[in-house]
Amino acid sequence: MGGQVATDQELTLVPSVVPAPHDRRGAVSAFFSAKRKTRLAMLLGAPMLWLVLAYLGSIAVLLLSALWSTDFFTGNITHTYRLDNLREVYTQSLYRTVTLRTITVALVVTLLDVLLAFPMAFYLSKVAGPRLRKVLLVAVLTPLWASYLVKAYAWRSLLAPNGPVSWLTGGHTPGYGLTATVITLAYLWLPYMVIPVFAGFERVPRSLFEASADLGAGAGRTVRSVLLPMVFPAVAAGSIFTFSLTLGDYIAVGIVGGKTQLLANVIYGQLVTANNQPLAAALATVPLIAIVLYLLLMRRTGALDNI
């Protein structure tokens, strides 16, 4: 597997190695090479500026503002540096409970998506014929064309006390709450899991199955010893999307979550209800750290080469 990745990289490197021209037109080529640098600068300038200023810059401002405080009566921000907010966030039991709940929801959503995406992607890649595969791939991607809100509200109607789920199950709808939140989020992020896992299966040559069968392995053994290890990095890559998207979600929870709240709701509450931007910024470090830790964990699986 590692070898395969290495060859891929070499392959992509080859076209960029252009032999230097050794002829009289040195000056011209120098001009062109200078121009190429300009071109490169122009090409990469805007994205780099965006990455450094708009993205990393805003995170830096966020972390900085976590050290400020708010005058509660007038709601104005006091620009003195204190660590009260961070201390509060990392010591209060309220935030610990919500953090634990959020991470649990994120993990459950990820697990559900893996369980759903794995057979779907396998069927798409290895079983379905070319025409059916195209149709199914479109079907997987179509929900992404609909607005997030529409889909969340659709689940709100589905799970309503007098809604279709209640009708189908004879009144056993989970109602609005944590279960509804998990179902809705798992539905919303499913395409982000199916696509990388499908790509992972595409890279597994069919001949390996034959080899495995020739060597006497049954279907279960083939899945366990051949398929799973090869597709695992792709699953891990998909899980980065489902995990981080869930950590940051507050809208779906607001729509189907009943009275439950996740970390992002608390952040929203501090920002909008309490008008305490510094504390909200301090709270925002929690998912930030969780995602960094998760990425570090996933890097070991080789997932980052699969995104």
Partner 1 sequence: MRRTLRTCRTYLALISAVAVLVACGSSTKTATPGTKGLAPPKISAATSVGSGEGALNIVVWAGYAESGANDPKVDWVHPFQTQTGCKVNAKIGNTSDEMVQLMKSGQYDGVSASGDATLRLIYGGDVAPVNTSLVANYASVSSFLKNGNWNSVGGQMYGIPHGWGANLLMWNPSKVTGAQDSWAAVFSDADKYKGKVTAYDSPIYIADAALYLMATQPSLGIKDPYALTSAQLDAAVSLLKQQKADIGEYWADYTKAVQAFESGTSVVGTTWQVIANTINADGKTKVKTVLPKEGATGWSDTWMISSKAKHPNCMYQWMNYIVSPEVNAQVAEYFGEAPAQTAACQHTSDKSFCDTYHALDAAYAAKIHYWTTPQKQCVDNSGKDDCTDYAQWVDKWQQIKS
**Piece of 40-48, 68-76, 117-125, 204-212 that binds partner 1 (CB under 8 A):** 68-76
Q: Is 217 left (phi over 0), alpha (psi -120 to 50) or beta?
A: beta
Which residue, among 289, 290, 269, 294, has the nearest Cα to 279 in the 3D structure? 269
**Piece of 11-19, 43-51, 201-209, 284-292 that binds partner 1 (CB under 8 A):** 284-292
Site string for partner 1, 98-127 (x = CB under 8 A): x-----------------------------
- Segment 253 to 282, residues that bind partner 1, using CB under 8 A: 257-259, 261, 266, 269-276
- Return the number of the residue (241 or 294) whose C-beta is nearest partner 1: 294
- Return the number of the residue (222 or 265) whose C-beta is nearest partner 1: 265
What is the distance between the alpha carbons of residues 270 and 283, in angstroms, rounded to a whole number?
Answer: 9
Which residue, among 191, 193, 192, 230, has the nearest Cα to 209 in the 3D structure? 230
- Return the number of the residue (183 or 227) whose C-beta is nearest partner 1: 183
User: Can residue 90 be called a binding residue for partner 1 (CB under 8 A)?
Assistant: yes
What is the distance between the alpha carbons of residues 206 and 203, in angstroms, rounded to a whole number?
Answer: 9
- Return the number of the residue (29 or 301) whose C-beta is nearest partner 1: 301
Determine which residue in the list 35, 37, 39, 299 makes contact with partner 1, applying CB under 8 A. Answer: 299
Contacts of 192 (CB under 8 A, 6+ apart): 113, 238, 241, 242, 245
Contact 166, 173 (CB under 8 A): yes
Residue 268 CB, shortest distance to partner 1, in Å, is 10
User: Can residue 82 be called a binding residue for partner 1 (CB under 8 A)?
Assistant: yes
State which amino acid sits at residue 232: F
Residue 288 CB, shortest distance to partner 1, in Å, is 10
User: Can residue 74 be called a binding residue for partner 1 (CB under 8 A)?
Assistant: yes
Residue 84 CB, shortest distance to partner 1, in Å, is 5
Residue 226 CB, shortest distance to partner 1, in Å, is 25
Residue that is written with structure tokens 């199914």 in the block: 136
Contact 240, 202 (CB under 8 A): no
What is the distance between the alpha carbons of residues 262 and 100, in angstroms, rounded to a whole number?
Answer: 9
Measured in degrees and rounded to the nearest 5, phi and psi for residue 172 equal -100, 45
- Segment 14 to 33, residues that bind partner 1, using CB under 8 A: none
Residue that is written with structure tokens 């929690």 in the block: 286
What is the distance between the alpha carbons of residues 201 and 117, in angstroms, rounded to a whole number?
Answer: 11
Residue 93 CB, shortest distance to partner 1, in Å, is 9
H or E element at residue 253:
helix 251-256
User: Can residue 70 be called a binding residue for partner 1 (CB under 8 A)?
Assistant: yes
What residues pair up with 35 in beta bridges, in sequence order? none
Site string for partner 1, 198-237 (x = CB under 8 A): ----------------------------------------
* Strand ranges for 1-78 from DSSP E: 69-70, 77-78
Contacts of 79 (CB under 8 A, 6+ apart): 68
Residue 192 CB, shortest distance to partner 1, in Å, is 25
- Segment 148 to 167, residues that bind partner 1, using CB under 8 A: 156-157, 160-163
Q: By CB under 8 A, name the binding residues for partner 1.
A: 69-76, 78, 82-84, 86-87, 90-91, 94, 97-98, 156-157, 160-163, 175-176, 257-259, 261, 266, 269-276, 285, 289, 292-293, 296, 299-300
